[in-house]
Chain A
Amino acid sequence: MSPAAPTPNLGYGGISRLWTMPGGVHPPEQKDQSNSTPIQSLPLPRRLYIPMDQHAGAPALPVVSAGERVLKGQLIGRDATGRGGNVHASTSGTVQAITEHTLCHPSGLTGTSVILEPDGEECWFAHAGIPDYLAAAPEALLERVREAGIVGLGGAGFPTAAKLAQGNALHTLILNGAECEPYISCDDRLMRERAAEVVEGGRILMRILGVERCLIGVEDNKPEAIEALWTALRASGEERMHLATLPTRYPSGGQKQLIYILTGQEVPSGKRSSTIGVLMHNVMTAAAVYRAVARGEPLVSRIVTVTGAGIGLPGNYEVLLGTPMADLLNASNAHGFHKLIVGGPMMGFTLRDAKTPVTKIANCLLAPTMAELPPPPNAKPCIRCGLCVDACPAKLLPQQLFWFARAGEDHKAVKHHLFDCIECGACAYVCPSDIPLVSYYRVAKDRIRAEREAKRQAEHARRRFEAREARLAREAAEKAERLKRATEARRAELAANPEAQAAIAAALARSQAAEPAAVEPVAAPPEAAADPAAARKAEIAAAIARAKARKTQGAVPAETSDSHKDEPAP
Chain B
Amino acid sequence: MSLAYAPSPHKSKAENLGAFMRQVVWAAVPGAVALFWAFGWGVVFQVWMCCFTAIATEALVLALRRRPIRPALTDCTALVTGVLLGLALPPYAPWWCAVFGSGFAILFGKQVYGGMGFNPFNPAMLGYVLLLVSFPVQMTIWATPLDLVQRPMGLWDGLSLVWLGETTNHETLVSLHSGIDAWTSASPLDHVKTQLGQGYSLSEALDTPIARGFSGFSWEWVNLAFGLGGLYLCVRKIADWRIPAGMLAALFVLASGFSLTDSDRYTGPIFQLFNGATMLGAFFIATDPVTAATTPRGRWLFGIGIGVLVYVIRTFGGYPDGMAFAVLLMNLAAPTLDYLTIPTAYGHGEEP
CB distance from B283 to the nearest CB of A (A): 15
Q: Flag if B237 contacts A387 (CB, 8 Å).
A: yes
Q: Flag if A373 contacts B10 (CB, 8 Å).
A: yes
Binds A, one of B12-20, B163-171, B269-277: B12-20
Chain B 148-192 per-residue mask, 1 if CB under 8 angstroms from chain A, else 0 = 000000000000000000000000000000000000000000000
Q: Which of B6, B15, B20, B347 contacts A269 (CB 8 A)?
A: B347
- Closest chain B residue, CB of each to CB of A398: B294
- When chains A and B are docked, how far (Å) is the Cα of A397 from the Cα of B348? 14
Q: Flag if B346 contacts A382 (CB, 8 Å).
A: no
Residues on A with C-beta less than 8 A from B17 are: 380, 383, 432-434
- Give the most central of A22, A368, A432, A439: most B CB within 10 Å: A432
CB distance from A381 to the nearest CB of B (A): 3
- Closest chain B residue, CB of each to CB of A430: B13
Given the interface contacts A351-B3, A436-B7, A442-B7, does A397 sit within 8 Å of B294 by beta carbon?
yes
How many A-B contacts if CB must be within 8 Å?
Answer: 164
Q: Which of B3, B6, B9 contacts A346 (CB 8 A)?
A: B9
Binds A, one of B112-120, B210-218, B310-318: B112-120
- When chains A and B are docked, how far (Å) is the Cα of A439 from the Cα of B6? 10
Q: Flag if B289 contacts A425 (CB, 8 Å).
A: no
Chain A 316-358 per-residue mask, 1 if CB under 8 angstroms from chain B, else 0 = 0000000000000000000000111101011111111110000
B207 at the interface (CB under 8 A from A): no
Q: Flag if A420 contacts B342 (CB, 8 Å).
A: no
Q: Flag if B346 contacts A439 (CB, 8 Å).
A: no
Residues on A with C-beta less than 8 A from B237 are: 387, 390
Residues on A with C-beta less than 8 A from B5 are: 339, 350, 352
Chain B 279-299 per-residue mask, 1 if CB under 8 angstroms from chain A, else 0 = 000000000011010111001
- Closest chain B residue, CB of each to CB of A390: B237
Q: Flag if B1 contacts A429 (CB, 8 Å).
A: no
Chain A 375-396 per-residue mask, 1 if CB under 8 angstroms from chain B, else 0 = 1111011111111011001111
- When chains A and B are docked, how far (Å) is the Cα of A425 from the Cα of B294? 19
A428 at the interface (CB under 8 A from B): yes
Q: Which of B10, B115, B343 contacts A345 (CB 8 A)?
A: B10
- When chains A and B are docked, how far (Å) is the Cα of A345 from the Cα of B6? 11
Residues on B with C-beta less than 8 A from A182 are: 11
Given the interface contacts A350-B6, A387-B237, does A434 sit within 8 Å of B12 by beta carbon?
yes
Q: Flag if B342 contacts A383 (CB, 8 Å).
A: no
Residues on B with C-beta less than 8 A from A381 are: 115-118
- When chains A and B are docked, how far (Å) is the Cα of A27 from the Cα of B117? 27
Residues on A with C-beta less than 8 A from B343 are: 389, 395-397
Q: Flag if A416 contacts B347 (CB, 8 Å).
A: no
- When chains A and B are docked, how far (Å) is the Cα of A380 from the Cα of B71? 8
Residues on A with C-beta less than 8 A from B116 are: 380-381, 383
CB distance from B83 to the nearest CB of A (A): 16
CB distance from A502 to the nearest CB of B (A): 79
B198 at the interface (CB under 8 A from A): no
A275 at the interface (CB under 8 A from B): yes
CB distance from B198 to the nearest CB of A (A): 44
Q: Which residues between 11 and 31 of chain A lie within 8 Å of chain B, taking CB atoms?
A: 22, 25, 27
Given the interface contacts A339-B4, A345-B9, A384-B290, does A434 sit within 8 Å of B342 by beta carbon?
no
CB distance from A35 to the nearest CB of B (A): 18
- When chains A and B are docked, how far (Å) is the Cα of A390 from the Cα of B12? 15
Q: Which of B294, B345, B349 contacts A386 (CB 8 A)?
A: B294
Given the interface contacts A380-B17, A380-B71, A432-B20, does A420 sit within 8 Å of B345 by beta carbon?
yes
Q: Is chain B's binding surface mostly helix, strand, loop or mixed?
A: loop
- When chains A and B are docked, how far (Å) is the Cα of A354 from the Cα of B2? 10
Residues on B with C-beta less than 8 A from A350 are: 3-6, 10
Q: Flag if B15 contacts A432 (CB, 8 Å).
A: yes
Q: Which residues between 293 and 343 of chain B lie within 8 Å of chain A, taking CB atoms?
A: 294-296, 299, 338, 342-343
Given the interface contacts A27-B11, A428-B9, does A340 sit within 8 Å of B3 by beta carbon?
yes
Residues on A with C-beta less than 8 A from B296 are: 386, 389
- Closest chain B residue, CB of each to CB of A394: B346
- When chains A and B are docked, how far (Å) is the Cα of A350 from the Cα of B240? 35
Q: Flag if B3 contacts A339 (CB, 8 Å).
A: yes
Binds B, one of A92-100, A260-268, A294-302, A562-570: A260-268
- Closest chain B residue, CB of each to CB of A373: B10
| Leading 6 A-B pairs by shortest Cβ distance | A381-B117, A425-B9, A269-B347, A345-B11, A339-B4, A417-B345
Q: Can you name 30 A-B residue pairings with CB atoms under 8 Å?
A: A256-B346, A267-B346, A268-B348, A268-B352, A275-B352, A339-B3, A345-B9, A345-B11, A347-B8, A349-B8, A352-B3, A353-B3, A373-B10, A373-B11, A376-B12, A380-B117, A381-B117, A385-B20, A386-B294, A386-B296, A389-B296, A394-B345, A395-B345, A396-B345, A417-B345, A428-B12, A430-B13, A432-B20, A433-B117, A434-B16
Given contacts A25-B13, A436-B7, 12 further A-B contacts (CB under 8 A): A22-B346, A182-B11, A339-B3, A375-B4, A383-B289, A386-B240, A386-B289, A386-B299, A394-B346, A396-B343, A420-B347, A438-B9
